[in-house]
Amino acid sequence: MFGEPPLKPPPIDLEAHLDTVEFTGWRGLRIDVGRLYDTLTPLGWKVDIEESNLMNAMSRTWRQEGIKVWVHLEGFVCAPPDGEIEALDKVCFYRFDPAIMPTQTMAERTYKPGDEKEEWYPGHREVWDWLMENGDPQTMTFDILTAIPFREVPEDILLTAWAELEQAVALAE
């Protein structure tokens, strides 16, 4: 019913999952992906884009600390999501060497110098502005990421990421 708080997944005791590398405790729960996106992107989370306007994960990177967290969906949804419902798959934390993680922005990955002077640019930028702001330009960097158990994630990052996920994940009715 309108105005009621969203249905939340079962609470997770992080202390019980410190040796977890792939958290699957919420696997299969169907969630409101639009709420996930709308809640997490203002907090710095990015969309994992695999195929232009499709997404199946979101991530947040702590570059200086060399930590990245991914929340994966079981399938693809439209991006940006608008009413899409999909099942959660897993949550994983990764370590990386900040010196070798690419620093390219989404706009730098998408456009060449001078494109902004082209006739097509304003329309293209308008359509893809959400992606320039919220797309993860380091989507294809799994070869430099090492999955780590929760206990190896700095506590402040683990608690921040988990609180943001708990705030964002709402079960679909």
Residue 104 phi, psi dihedral angles, 5° rounding: -60, 135
User: Does 141 reside within a domain?
Assistant: yes
User: Does 130 reside within a domain?
Assistant: yes
User: Does 7 reside within a domain?
Assistant: no
User: Does 173 reside within a domain?
Assistant: no
- pTM for the predicted model, two decimal places: 0.90
User: Does 10 reside within a domain?
Assistant: no
Tens of pLDDT, residue by residue over 17-32, are 999 999 999 999 999 9
User: Does 155 reside within a domain?
Assistant: yes
The number of folded domains in the chain is 1
Q: How confident is the model at residue 139 (pLDDT cuts 50, 70, 90)?
A: confident
Tens of pLDDT, residue by residue over 19-76, are 999 999 999 999 999 999 999 999 999 998 766 678 999 999 999 999 999 999 999 9
CA nearest 48: which of 144, 140, 133, 154? 140
The whole-angstrom distance between residue 53's C-alpha and the CA centroid of its chain comes to 15
Measured between alpha carbons, how far is residue 82 from residues 15, 48, 70, 125, 141 in Å? 34, 16, 20, 20, 27
**Top-ranked range on mean pLDDT: pick from 51-65, 91-105, 130-144:** 91-105
Cβ partners under 8 Å of residue 149, min gap 6: 18, 19, 20, 21, 93
